[in-house]
Amino acid sequence: MADYDYDVLIIGSGPGGYVAAIRAAQLGLKTACVESRETLGGTCLNVGCIPSKALLHGSELFEEAHDGTLAKFGVKTGKVELDLAVLQGEKLGAVKELTGGIAFLFKKNKVDWLKGHAAFKDAHSVDVAGKTVTAKNIVIATGSSVTPLTGVAIDNDKGVIVDSTGGLALTRVPDHMVVIGGGVIGLELGSVWRRLGAKVTVVEFLDALLPGMDGDVRKEAAKIFKKQGMELRLSTKVTGASVKGKKATLTLEPSAGGAAETLEADCVLVAIGRRPNVDGLNLAAIGLELNARGQIETDHEFRTAVDGVWAVGDVIPGPMLAHKAEDEGIAVAENIAGLTGIVNHAVIPGVVYTMPEFAGVGLTEEAAKELGEVKVGKFPMMANSRAKTNRESDGFVKVIADAKTDKVLGVWAIASVAGTMIAEAAIAMEFGATSEDIAYTCHAHPTHSEALKEAAMGVTGKAIHI
Ligand code: FAD
Ligand code: NAD
């Protein structure tokens, strides 16, 4: 057998890559991880999940102090002012600690961090900064980046038309921010800047926000964001943009076609989706082809069509989520080590970290109905004692079960802590729970999670508090 520098070489150190590297090293494999960024952790830790959550948290605190929520609970604050530089500093602090944490874990687990861009030479060797590195197994975990919008040029340095990376780093609160795309990024970052004082208009191509989520959730989302003061322009597309000094002028049209109009903004956030990072990998050298969406296809063990080359995370099909990438990272390392690594792609929760949070796992009601008859239980947060006490009563929990077997097919929640609540639903579904299993599980009182129990009780018409 040929001698290789490593048993496993991973390209990319995001949640897919760094987790794969640590798990492979734990399993006794000689492992290296190549990263072209200065720091480890990929999109998620550097310019995604972590910095966005820092700004979401800080802006929630600001709004609570500013809009009288704290005062309502007797907390006197005096004049409330925003120091954006401090907030941005706190965000950078969290990013530094967490990316540094991965460097520490690499050292602890003896994973070699190779700095530079990796490009294939053949299926067992890559070029990293002019040096050839060989490995028996190579895992592509190169992630994704922002999808550009034709006619709308992004310039993060100028700060007028930005992508999510620029939208996380603004040094002043815009007067009017137009968000192109009413998906996860648009609503999370739009919420941040609205709370900090910007007028926010969301332009969405489709007739509802948050594609992929349950229909009821999408309808409720529009009501909630409107109530919070966002202007929503649904069924509308942006056809062009021009920038003069610090102002952008956008041209809008109804998605179905029609009369054009213009909209002015001092900041435009482009958030219309992300696409896999494959440029510069020299996939031609190994004869690996992409699917029609530019993704790398794998089998359920995360093997690509090329022997010895594997792939995980945003670069392969499935939701572009950090926890999905992490689970695939663990599974690919276990498969390479000869164990059985599995990811159940039917049970991957998704969470939008606005206030309230929007979360779901499993099938939407629409998708479940396509497979057969369903029963649905729905419980409003307004009737949940904890949510009511905390004055955060927007939202509901919805449980969708198979009408014949009662097996839970999907759970959707809008609640201040929906992201935490959805983990219980995911565990229940992993264990093949029925709605009755959830309904007859004792839930602590008073908790938001009681709304899940009540929604499950509602599947068979037994909810108590409504
Ligand atoms: P990535 O994290 O993209 O990492 C890939 C790494 O590979 C990058 O660091 C890149 O520099 C490196 N790389 C690429 N090509 C090469 C090469 N040829 N050589 C060397 N290195 C290379 N998901 C959630 O689950 N929850 C959230 O709250 C959340 N918030 C988000 C907020 C924002 C603003 C954004 C943009 C994304 C968010 N996501 C969130 C999505 C999440 O960040 C991604 O799903 C996740 O990072 C994907 O992990 P990955 O390992 O596949 O790739
Ligand atoms: P998205 O797919 O969530 O939303 C993009 C939106 O843009 C869609 O609603 C789409 O209909 C709309 N759109 C597309 N083209 C348009 C156009 N020309 N004009 C107007 N609207 C248009 O994508 P995103 O918000 O950019 O996020 C990218 C990825 O990052 C997502 O897959 C998401 O999973 C991930 N992410 C996750 C989280 C989280 O888990 N909390 C947070 C941020 C990002």
Alpha-carbon gap, residue 227 to 242, rounded angstroms: 30
- CATH architecture of the domain 161-272 equals 3-Layer(bba) Sandwich (3.50)
Q: Which amino acid is at 14?
A: G
> Is 352 touching ligand 2 by the criterion CB < 6 Å?
yes
pLDDT for residue 260 = 96
Residue pointed to by tokens 């080359």 = 309
For residue 327, how far is its CA from the centre of ligand 1 (angstroms)?
A: 14
Cα dist. 413→38, 54, 176, 356, 394 in Å? Answer: 38, 22, 30, 10, 11
Q: What is the pLDDT along the chain (466 residues), one digit of tens a residue?
A: 469 999 999 999 999 999 999 999 999 999 999 999 999 999 999 999 999 999 999 999 999 999 999 999 999 999 999 999 999 999 999 999 999 999 999 999 999 999 999 999 999 999 999 999 999 999 999 999 999 999 999 999 999 999 999 999 999 999 999 999 999 999 999 999 999 999 999 999 999 999 999 999 999 999 999 999 999 999 999 999 999 999 999 999 999 999 999 999 999 999 999 999 999 999 999 999 999 999 999 999 999 999 999 999 999 999 999 999 999 999 999 999 999 999 999 999 999 999 999 999 999 999 999 999 999 999 999 999 999 999 999 999 999 999 999 999 999 999 999 999 999 999 999 999 999 999 999 999 999 999 999 999 999 999 999 9
> Is 180 touching ligand 2 by the criterion CB < 6 Å?
yes
Domain boundaries, the chain: 6-146+275-336, 161-272, 350-459
pLDDT for residue 225 = 98
pLDDT for residue 336 = 98
Show the tokens assigned to 85: 């530089």
**Whether residue 445 lies in the annotated active site:** yes
Alpha-carbon gap, residue 265 to 179, rounded angstroms: 10
pLDDT for residue 262 = 97
Active-site residue (options: 57, 117, 300, 445): 445
Nearest ligand 1 atom to the CA of 44 is 43
pLDDT for residue 201 = 98
> Is 273 touching ligand 2 by the criterion CB < 6 Å?
yes
Best CATH choice for the domain 6-146+275-336 from the list 3.30.1490.100, 3.40.50.300, 3.50.50.60, 3.60.21.10: 3.50.50.60
The preferred substitution site among 150, 274, 361 for testing ligand 2, maximizing ligand atoms within 8 Å of CB, is 274
pLDDT for residue 333 = 98
Task: Quote the DSSP letter at residue 289.
Answer: P
pLDDT for residue 51 = 98
Q: Three-class SS of residue 139?
A: strand
pLDDT for residue 145 = 96
Intrachain domains 6-146+275-336 and 161-272 with the same fold: yes
What single string gives the DSSP state of each residue in 197-238?
A: T-EEEEE-SSSSSSTTS-HHHHHHHHHHHHHTT-EEE-SEEE
> Is 20 touching ligand 2 by the criterion CB < 6 Å?
no
**Ligand showing the shortest atom-to-Cα distance for residue 271:** 2
Best CATH choice for the domain 350-459 from the list 3.30.390.30, 1.10.1530.10, 1.10.3760.10, 3.40.50.720: 3.30.390.30
Q: Check the CA dihedral 12-16-19-23 and report its sign.
A: negative
Q: End-to-end CA distance of the chain, in Å?
A: 68
Count, in order, helices (H) and strands (E) of the chain: 14, 22
pLDDT for residue 305 = 98
Alpha-carbon gap, residue 397 to 380, rounded angstroms: 6
